[in-house]
Chain A
Amino acid sequence: MGGVHTTAFGMQRTDEELVALAITGDSESFNQLVRRWERQIYALAYRVLGREEEARDVCQETFLRAFRGIKGFKGQAKFSSWLYRIALNLCRDWIRKERRSAVMTPLDADGEAPLPDLTVETAEARTVRRDLGRLMTAAMATLSEEQRTTIVLKEYHGLTFQEIADLQDSPLSTVKTRLYQGLSVLRKQLRRKGVHGTATLSAVPAASLMARSHRKVVNFDR
């Protein structure tokens, strides 16, 4: 089914158009959606769970469920919101199941991906990212799941407060409370570890650059 993913003028199809095609049984259109959103979903799951393998599993399962349920998706929400909801439910399932064991314990350095895929990353940048990653996952682990999810959706996925409220089935003010309380806890945690915003920024140019470009992509997509 080549050629259906772009219009006659070479423009990218919107999520809604691809969903409509996928519902008719065009799996390549669905794959286009996978490629468009898999990194976002993986990043979401990684930051909520703090674990790489589980984040990949959640990412994969999210798209499987989306594919199986695509016919039931009536466009009542944005496709991305729907994906976020599936992914967050899977994250929640995982967290509840793993509650007995240590949740959000970052893997040791050797447990991380040895092969960066498309990102060119120097050894130095990788070390900095891992150190910061360990620190952040440890700090995020002290938050409640709701606080963590709220911060992740707001900071990294650029959702509006209302969109987060809809996803969490919570009132707007609850979302803001979670955000405020989460940030306050993080502030204490990071202070204790001697991390200050500006110092961290200057110390990790590469990681910071990646985070910024990532955010830009999010905004572009939205």
Chain B
Amino acid sequence: MTENSCIEQDALVDYLYGEADDDTRRRIETHARGCAQCADEIGGLREVRDTLETWSPPPATIGFRVVSPDGDEPQDRVLALAPRFGWGRLRRLPGWGLAAAAVLVLVTGAVVAKPEVQFNQGGMVVRIGWTDTMSSPAPLGVDLVSESELVATSDEPRPGSQAVRGTPVGTGRPSGLEPRRAESALGVGGAAGDGMMQGVRQMVRESEQRQQRALVNGLEQLEQQRVNRRQADLVVLERTLAGMGSADGELNRQQLLESVRALLSR
């Protein structure tokens, strides 16, 4: 029995999905003909299924593929994810998944993103960068690692973010720095040191994400500009074509030629 009908739940579900055996199906149908409540229940649930059928996910660009960046590397150690489409598609890639987007080298052993941390009299220095040559590191006060940041690091990273580290195309190659360099540079040990390290890692992670977002925002803007210009050109082209039949034939032909030239040059 269900809440709203006299039919047993399992039989009702089987019936709704066309999986009831003939006997059950006949029994339910005979019953529903004489029981308004059950007929309403069946009709109502069918309506829900009809509505569900109209729900489709938004179109999304999800194409990517697995590539082997270095043929000599064993497949289970290094692999890369590359978008199947060009850079123009980057605009649809998610924040923390940007890493994977930009052509990502993933090392399953979890490479921490080459931070370099030093202590000196000015406090703690954190250096991060995409290339081996570190440029003008900014000294950071230790107090930057606030308590809230430390708390935040106790959360687990989002799925995969631990193992996935992104490297934009062009600069992407593993640096010579050892993954564990940060820890050894710290050298203080103890719970406080660990907490600080976590805070630093969090800052490094956030900084990386900011860089990636900035990169993608830039690309996105460029792409938008290009699309806008192209659309504007197409409008001009269309108008010119529409006016071809009129008296100013020669003038229109000139405009058309210019538009086509402009369009082709992009």
A187→B155 contact, CB < 8 A: no
A154: interface (CB < 8 Å)? yes
B53: interface (CB < 8 Å)? yes
User: Smallest Cβ distance from A18 to chain B, in angstroms?
Assistant: 13
0 or 1 for each of B83-117: is its CB under 8 Å from A? (1 = yes): 00000000111111100100000101000000000
User: Smallest Cβ distance from B164 to chain A, in angstroms?
Assistant: 8
A184→B59 contact, CB < 8 A: no
Binding site for A on B (CB under 8 A): 2-4, 9-10, 12-14, 16-17, 19, 44-68, 75-76, 79, 81, 91-97, 100, 106, 108, 155-156, 158-160, 164
> Which residues of chain A come closer than 8 Å to B2, judged between CB atoms?
180, 184
B75→A136 contact, CB < 8 A: no
Q: Given that A176-B13, A211-B53 are known contacts, is A31 also in contact with B58, CB under 8 Å in the complex?
A: no
Give the residue of A93, A156, A187 whose beta carbon is less than 8 angstroms from that of B47: A187
Interface residue count on the A side (C-beta < 8 Å): 74
Give the residue of B48, B61, B155, B156 whose beta carbon is less than 8 angstroms from that of A186: B48
Chain A residue at smallest Cβ distance from B3: A184
Interchain Cβ contacts under 8 Å between A and B, 13 examples? A34-B66, A57-B160, A59-B62, A113-B61, A116-B59, A130-B58, A132-B55, A155-B52, A183-B16, A184-B4, A187-B44, A196-B47, A212-B53
Q: Which of A109-137 contact B (CB under 8 A)?
A: 112-113, 115-119, 121, 129-130, 132-133, 136
Give the residue of B3, B9, B49, B76 whose beta carbon is less than 8 angstroms from that of A176: B9
> Which residues of chain B come closer than 8 Å to A27, judged between CB atoms?
65-68, 75, 79
B160→A180 contact, CB < 8 A: no
Q: Given that A176-B13, A187-B44 are known contacts, is A133 also in contact with B55, CB under 8 Å in the complex?
A: yes
Binding site for B on A (CB under 8 A): 25, 27, 30-31, 34-35, 38-39, 42-43, 46-47, 52-61, 63-65, 67-68, 71, 90, 93-94, 97, 112-113, 115-119, 121, 129-130, 132-133, 136, 151, 154-156, 161, 173, 176-177, 179-180, 183-184, 186-187, 190, 195-198, 200-201, 204, 207-208, 210-212, 214-215
Among A60, A71, A196: residue with most chain B CB under 10 A: A60
> Which residues of chain A come closer than 8 Å to B155, judged between CB atoms?
97
Q: Given that A60-B97, A64-B160, A68-B108 are known contacts, is A129 also in contact with B56, CB under 8 Å in the complex?
A: yes
> Which residues of chain B come closer than 8 Å to A116, judged between CB atoms?
59
A97→B156 contact, CB < 8 A: yes
Complex CA–CA separation, A165 to B167 (angstroms): 41
